[in-house]
Amino acid sequence: MKTPFITKEKAEEIIKQYPTPFHIYDEKGIRQRARDLYKAFSWNKGFKEYFAVKATPNPFILKILKEEGCGVDCSSLTELMMSDCCGFSGSDIMFSSNVTPKADFLKARELGAYINLDDFTHIDYLDDLCGIPETICCRFNPGGHFEIETQIMDNPGEAKYGFTREQLFEGFKVLQQKGAKHFGLHAFLASNTVSNAYYPKLARILFELAVELHEKTGADIKFVNLSGGVGIAYEPDKPQNDIFAIGEGVRKAFEDIMVPAGLGDVAIFTELGRYMLAPFGHLVATCTHHKHTYKEYVGLDACACNLMRPAMYGSYHHITVLGKENAPCDHKYDVTGGLCENNDKFAIDRMLPEIDTGDIIVIHDTGAHGFSMGYNYNGKLRSAEILLHEDGSFDMIRRAETPADYFATFDFTDIFDKYTKNNK
Let me know: does 367 contact 280? Beta carbons within 8 Å: yes
Please give the Cα distance from 176 to 183 (Å, whole number).
Answer: 9
Helix, strand, coil % over all residues of the chain, rounded to 5: 35, 25, 40
Neighbouring C-beta atoms of residue 93, cutoff 10 Å: 24
Task: Give yes or no: 340 in active site.
Answer: yes
Higher pLDDT, 424 or 100: 100
pLDDT tens track for 84-139: 999 999 999 999 999 999 999 999 999 999 999 999 999 999 999 999 999 999 99
Length of the chain (residues): 424
Q: Calculate mean pLDDT across residues 305-323.
A: 96
CA 355 to chain centre: 31
Query: Once rounded to an integer, what is the mean pLDDT over residues 358-385?
Result: 97
Asked if residues 273 and 192 have their Cβ atoms less than 8 Å apart, the reply is no
pLDDT of residue 148: 67
| Average pLDDT over all residues of the chain | 95
Alpha-carbon dihedral 211, 213, 216, 222, rounded to 10 degrees: -80
**Rg from Cα positions in the chain:** 23
Rounded distance, CA 350 to CA 2, Å?
Answer: 15
Give the bridge partners for 282, in sequence order.
24
Which tens digits make up the pLDDT trace of 254-269? 999 999 999 999 999 9
pTM, full prediction: 0.95
Closest CA to 130 of 185, 181, 74, 179: 179
Ramachandran region of residue 369, left (φ > 0), alpha (ψ -120 to 50) or beta? left
Give the bridge partners for 96, in sequence order. 116
Q: Which residues contact 250 (CB under 8 A, 6 or more apart)?
A: 41, 199, 200, 203, 226, 268
Residue 113 DSSP code: P
Q: How confident is the model at residue 151 (pLDDT cuts 50, 70, 90)?
A: low
Instruction: Kindly list the structural domains of the chain, giving each domain's residue range(s) and its CATH number in brackets, ordered by start.
Output: 27-277 (3.20.20.10), 279-410 (2.40.37.10)
- Helix (H) or strand (E) holding 18, with range, is none
Which residues does residue 352 pair with via DSSP β-bridges, in sequence order?
A: 331
pLDDT in tens, 180-229: 999 999 998 888 999 999 999 999 999 999 999 999 999 999 999 999 99
Q: Per-residue pLDDT tens for 405-415?
A: 999 999 999 99
Could you give the residue ranges of the DSSP H alpha helices within 241-335?
A: 243-253, 274-277, 309-313
Question: Residue 177 contacts by C-beta under 8 Å, 6 or more apart in sequence?
Answer: none
Q: Which alpha helices (DSSP H) does 181-338 contain, by range?
A: 198-217, 243-253, 274-277, 309-313
Is the pLDDT score of 56 beyond 90? yes
Nearest of 350, 383, 401 to residue 25 by alpha carbon: 383
| Beta-strand runs (E) in 199-309 | 220-225, 267-270, 281-292, 296-300
- pLDDT tops 80 at residue 39: yes
HSE (CB half, 13 Å, CA atoms) of 262? 6
C-alpha 229/C-alpha 197 separation (Å) is: 12
Please give the pLDDT value at position 424: 47
